[in-house]
């Protein structure tokens, strides 16, 4: 069993840490309904997600929580959260969904999570896809996130990646109405069609 691993170097210079904390204090003063991240030493405001994005995120989170949550009826073993604030190196990111195996979950008293998740899912949108791929993917790999999912609601696709060293190994993609068993949640069958369907 591996222990907690922080997403940043605790031996960074005192000056660098002071710089991050100064930006974080400004970040913490934002109203609670404002979505933002810390990127390159600055607070970056994020657009509100579109209804389709929210629906896909909510359905996937509910499906996985129902099977893998620590008090679920299924395989259990995970803590799954929506948009948790996580420190990665000198940045603060809020993935759409993130999951920690229960033995590695460390909940902060205050401030961001500092333990790298075992799994992250980003739901792509036209305004965030480039950032998710160009900025977040390499950052998550460097910080040793075990698995990454990229879901595109418009293309109706799921991309699954497994970390290998500081690189991502792409596993076979899926889409449409396929029923898949995707790492690290391969213990259950996931109906992708249920993510795209609208009520009525």
Strand order in the sheet with 86-88: 42-45, 36-39, 91-93, 86-88
Would you give the DSSP letter of residue 179?
E
Q: Which of 20-24, 80-84, 138-142, 185-189 is the least confident region?
A: 20-24
Strands (E) located in 62-177: 78-82, 86-88, 91-93, 97-101, 119-123, 147-152, 157-164, 167-170, 174-175
CA 3 from centre of chain: 19
| pLDDT band at residue 18 under the 50/70/90 scheme | confident
Collapse the DSSP code of 91 into the 3-class scheme (helix H, G, I; strand E, B; otherwise coil) and give the result: strand
Is the separation of the CB atoms in 181 and 156 below 8 Å?
A: no
Q: What is the pTM of this model?
A: 0.91
- pLDDT of amino acid 1: 39
CA distance 197 to 200: 9
Instruction: Give pLDDT tens digits for 154-194.
Output: 999 999 999 998 899 999 999 999 999 999 999 999 999 99
Q: Is the dihedral of CA 157, 181, 167, 195 positive or negative?
A: positive
Beta bridge mates, 180:
190
Mean pLDDT estimate for the chain: 91
Which domains, and CATH codes, for the chain? 14-196 (3.90.1570.10)
Cβ atoms of 168 and 161 closer than 8 Å:
yes
pLDDT greater than 80 at residue 147: yes
Among candidates 108, 105, 136, which has minimal Cα distance to 120?
A: 136
- Identify whether the C-beta of residue 30 lies closer than 8 Å to the C-beta of residue 43: yes
Helical (H) or strand (E) element with 27: helix 14-28
The whole-angstrom separation of Cα 90 and Cα 83 is: 18
In angstroms, the CA 20 to CA 41 distance is 7
Angle value at C-alpha 14, between 21 and 4, nearest 5 degrees = 70
Rounded mean pLDDT, 26-42: 92
Q: If DSSP codes are grouped into helix, strand and coil, which group holds residue 82?
A: strand
């Amino acid at each position: 069993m591996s222990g907690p691993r922080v997403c940043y170097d605790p031996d960074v210079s005192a000056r660098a840490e002071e710089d991050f904390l100064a930006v974080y204090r400004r970040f913490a003063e934002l109203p609670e309904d404002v979505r933002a991240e810390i990127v390159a030493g600055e607070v970056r405001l994020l657009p509100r997600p579109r209804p389709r994005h929210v629906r896909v995120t909510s359905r996937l989170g509910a499906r996985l929580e129902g099977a893998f949550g620590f008090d679920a009826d299924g395989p259990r073993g995970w803590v799954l959260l929506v948009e948790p604030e996580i420190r990665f190196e000198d940045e603060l990111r809020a993935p759409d969904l993130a999951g920690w195996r229960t033995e590695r979950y460390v909940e902060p008293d205050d401030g961001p999570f500092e333990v790298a998740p075992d799994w992250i899912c980003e739901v792509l949108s036209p305004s965030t896809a480039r950032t998710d791929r160009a900025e977040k993917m390499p950052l998550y790999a460097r910080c040793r996130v075990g698995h990454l999912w990229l879901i595109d609601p418009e293309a109706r696709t799921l991309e699954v990646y497994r970390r290998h060293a500081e690189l991502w190994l792409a596993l076979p993609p899926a889409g449409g109405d396929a029923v898949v068993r995707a790492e690290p949640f391969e213990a259950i069958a996931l109906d992708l069609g249920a993510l795209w369907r609208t009520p009525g």
